[in-house]
């Protein structure tokens, strides 16, 4: 009897972890070639985005299929409300498109990417 209960608890735990990992991933569509704040380039396409949070910062992982293509550090910024949809914010910098912020659907925080700033001599 006790062994059956242990298996049910383990089964429930495994399915909970699977559900949480699926729910934590978001899809982001990039329409044009764009750099992520730190200079890594994303080709146009659909990416699965996963976020590894650390207190006030995060590591953002961009996947195409099962392949990790880009990782980028980001700062977590509180927003006034939850986002209904995933939104990607861009800026034109030095003739190129740069992703400055991603606000994932269902989140009350946005991911702000640090911009590489040229050194002034």
- Model's pTM, two decimal places? 0.72
Convert the pLDDT of each residue in 2-13 to its tens digit: 677 676 766 665
Cβ atoms of 100 and 91 closer than 8 Å: yes
Evaluated on CA atoms 27, 31, 35, 41, the torsion sign reads positive
Give per-residue pLDDT as tens, 32-85: 999 997 678 999 999 999 999 887 778 999 999 999 999 999 999 999 999 999
The Cα–Cα gap between 8 and 39 comes to 47
Task: Tell me how far CA of residue 4 lies from CA of 1, 17, 18, 33, 71, in angstroms.
Answer: 5, 20, 21, 53, 42
Element spanning 8, H or E? helix 2-24
């Amino acid at each position: 009897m006790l062994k059956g209960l242990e298996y049910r608890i383990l089964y429930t735990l495994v399915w909970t972890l699977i559900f949480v990992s699926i729910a934590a991933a978001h899809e982001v569509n990039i329409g044009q070639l764009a750099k992520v704040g730190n200079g890594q380039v994303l080709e146009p396409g659909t990416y699965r985005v996963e976020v590894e949070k650390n207190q006030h910062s995060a590591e953002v992982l961009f996947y195409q299929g099962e392949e990790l293509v880009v990782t980028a550090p980001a700062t977590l910024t509180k927003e006034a409300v939850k986002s209904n949809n995933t939104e990607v914010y861009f800026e034109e910098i030095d003739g190129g498109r740069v992703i400055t912020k991603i606000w994932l659907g269902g989140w009350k925080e946005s991911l702000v990417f640090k911009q590489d700033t040229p050194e002034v001599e």
